[in-house]
Amino acid sequence: MNELEEDKLWKEILKGYNESRIWKDFVEEKGGKIKWNKKGKSGEEWTIMTKEVFKKIGKNKGYKIRETNEKNKEFMALDQVWFNKENDEAVLALETENSAGFQAIVEDEFRKLLNFKSDYKILIWYNYDDKDEEDNLEKFQKKINGHPKVLKDEKFFIISLWNDEKVVGITKSILKKDKARKKTTHWNINNEREYEDDEEKHRS
């Protein structure tokens, strides 16, 4: 069974989204501006695609996958969990949200991740306007630091959608308890390249 490494996991997540080949179904152009399509496929169907991307990665690495679906309506109250087949230990927990605001996510999806034991905790949400990105990340970090049950080796992937007038992409931050976070990275789906937070060229 392949052990998870944060850099390799992130690359596989991006590869999985790219190989899904349906990006254009979630993007629209209006008045010369490119944006995430907030109707139809931007919500529930994006969540379905996301869960399929993660399921494929987990299965390829030899993990047992359990998720919320018609059979398991609320499996452990999480959208998807990866288990080690050898000892049944949870190694990754996934939560996605396609409509709620930041405070609702903190009180629901993120609370679930805080209280669930796994090495990796993935939150994917749809922050179409990233002007509050830094403030939101600081609030997530404070929740992690202040939670008595969160272990210092647990990794929280905070993944959100972003766009400006010309570009759409995926933003990723990795948070750990009582540690300074690394620079946020932005994956530009137009040129399939990744840039750090201070590289202005990721916006072109």
**pLDDT tens for each residue of 60-118:** 999 999 887 656 665 567 899 999 999 999 999 999 887 678 888 888 899 999 999 99
Ranges 13-17, 82-86, 131-135: which has the least confidence:
131-135
Place of tokens 């990794």: 155
- What is the CB neighbour count within 10 angstroms for residue 34? 16
Task: Spell out the domain ranges in the chain.
Answer: 6-203
Burial 100-134 (b: 16+ CB within 10 A, else e): eebeebbeebbebbbebebbbbbbbbbbeebeebe
> 110-130: per-residue pLDDT in tens?
999 999 999 999 999 876 556
Mean pLDDT across the chain: 81
Tokens of 146: 């202040």
pLDDT confidence tier of residue 199, bands split at 50, 70 and 90: low
Query: How deeply is 189 buried, as exposed, middle or buried, from its count of CB atoms within 10 A (0-12, 13-18, 19+)?
Result: buried
- Report H helices in 61-175: 102-107, 109-115, 133-146
- State the pTM of this model: 0.85
